[in-house]
Amino acid sequence: MKIHKLLLATDLSEQARHSYGHAASLAAAFGAKLDVLHVDELAEIGLHTAAGLSEYLGAMSDLREQRLVALDRDMTRLGADYELHQMAGSPSQAILGFADDQDTDLIVIAKHGGGRRMRHLFMGLTAKRLVRHARVPVLVVPVPHGGPADVAAPHTYDELLTATDFSYASQRGLLAALEIARQLDGRVHLVHVANVPSYLPGQPGGAPTDRLAWLREAHRAELDSLREELADPRLTTEVDLGPGPAERLAHLAEERDASLVVIPSEGKGALRKVLFGSTTERLLGLSAQPVLVLPREFLDRPWTVGR
């Protein structure tokens, strides 16, 4: 598996600047060509007759040029060699089309949203559409609440967090995470989240302690068997019990200060609940760490973990 071309999609906003350091650092680590794409929705309007609208479009054009200068300044501080592309139209459609036409291997985009308690409501329409429809991995970078973007700081990726439900998709996702960790000189922490509800009928205190212990040991044995099969020193494992797989994964990622959360875009059981529909957006919205989503088309590629 090799990342040859990386695409940073930006609307040039202050929030988008949080993704610049990740794009530059990953392009350098992979030795990949870095394309930067800005899609101008206003240019698609094509109306310049009304004086008020013309003035508004002119002001937006001036602001865009200022932000392009700021983008170049940020990239220069990051030491990034990049090629800028500008298009007009729908951002998600333009980004997906560009990625297909240019054989992009990885898309990076910032997650736009509010504070910690409201993150899951504001992932951003473009990011949502990319995660749902892209045929290559998409890295969604969170926007910290408050404070300026420290775009000049390079990023390292020493710990990747991924999850398994022992399905084909999650096993391929694990192999992808191990290969990415190998190329980034990092390690992988694999978590199996057993979705245990906090309330059970007839059990006011939740599941019995002995039942939880048995469940934990059973899943731990499966993880131990998988780790022995892979025999990869970069891999550590953990069983987590609790309600809400999305919440648990986001919590573990923040607790461990994971560099990346690597998640396949489909699975079964608890992982399917994490990765589909509204809960997909919840995981991406809740995570304070960047989330790398791996689509099925990527998982089906015939690559293996390097040694």
Q: Are residues 181 and 289 in the same domain?
A: yes
Q: Are residues 114 and 218 in the same domain?
A: no
Q: Are residues 170 and 286 in the same domain?
A: yes
User: Residue 149 falls within a domain, yes or no?
Assistant: no
Q: Are residues 264 and 165 in the same domain?
A: yes
AA identity, residue 57? L
The whole-angstrom separation of Cα 12 and Cα 26 is 19
8 Å CB contact between 174 and 190 = yes
Q: Which tokens belong to 70?
A: 């700021």
Phi and psi (nearest 5°) for 10? Answer: -140, 140
Q: Are residues 184 and 228 in the same domain?
A: yes
Orientation of helix 209-230 relative to helix 168-184, angle to 10°: 60
Q: Are residues 101 and 208 in the same domain?
A: no
pLDDT at position 170, please?
87
Q: Are residues 81 and 207 in the same domain?
A: no
> Which ranges in the chain belong to alpha helices (H)?
20-30, 51-78, 91-101, 125-133, 168-184, 209-230, 245-255, 269-275, 277-286, 296-299
pLDDT at position 201, please?
45
Q: Are residues 174 and 253 in the same domain?
A: yes
3-state helix, strand, coil in the chain (%, to 5): 45, 20, 35
The whole-angstrom separation of Cα 71 and Cα 66 is 9
How far is residue 131 from each of residues 51, 109, 128, 183, measured CA to CA in Å? 39, 10, 5, 23
User: Residue 306 falls within a domain, yes or no?
Assistant: no
Q: Are residues 64 and 95 in the same domain?
A: yes
User: Residue 154 falls within a domain, yes or no?
Assistant: no
Domain residue limits at 129: 5-141
User: Residue 305 falls within a domain, yes or no?
Assistant: no
Whether the predicted pLDDT of 31 surpasses 80: yes
Q: Are residues 171 and 295 in the same domain?
A: yes
Of 141, 172, 207, the domain-final residue? 141
* Domain count of the fold of the chain: 2
The whole-angstrom separation of Cα 248 and Cα 194 is 10
Nearest Cα residue to 160 out of 50, 252, 97: 252
AA identity, residue 282? R
User: Residue 304 falls within a domain, yes or no?
Assistant: no
pLDDT at position 200, please?
46
Please compute the mean of the pLDDT values over residues 207-224 and round it to a whole number.
81
User: Residue 148 falls within a domain, yes or no?
Assistant: no
Of 141, 174, 191, the domain-final residue? 141
**pTM: predicted TM-score of the whole model, two decimal places:** 0.85
Q: CA 65: distance to chain centroid?
A: 28
Q: How does the average pLDDT of the chain come out, rounded?
A: 82
- Reported as a single tens digit per residue, the pLDDT across 241-287 is 877 788 889 999 999 999 999 988 764 445 544 544 455 667 888 89
235-242 sheet: strands from edge to edge: 82-88, 33-40, 5-9, 106-110, 138-141, 291-294, 260-264, 159-163, 187-195, 235-242
AA identity, residue 38? H
Sign, CA dihedral 170-272-4-233, equals negative
pLDDT range class, residue 213, cuts 50, 70, 90:
confident
Q: Are residues 129 and 220 in the same domain?
A: no
> Which ranges in 79-207 belong to alpha helices (H)?
91-101, 125-133, 168-184
pLDDT range class, residue 116, cuts 50, 70, 90:
very low
Whether the predicted pLDDT of 188 surpasses 90: yes
User: Residue 252 falls within a domain, yes or no?
Assistant: yes
Of 110, 141, 172, the domain-final residue? 141
pLDDT at position 146, please?
61
Lowest mean pLDDT among 10-19, 222-231, 258-267: 258-267
Q: Are residues 28 and 124 in the same domain?
A: yes
CATH of residue 265? 3.40.50.620
User: Residue 152 falls within a domain, yes or no?
Assistant: no
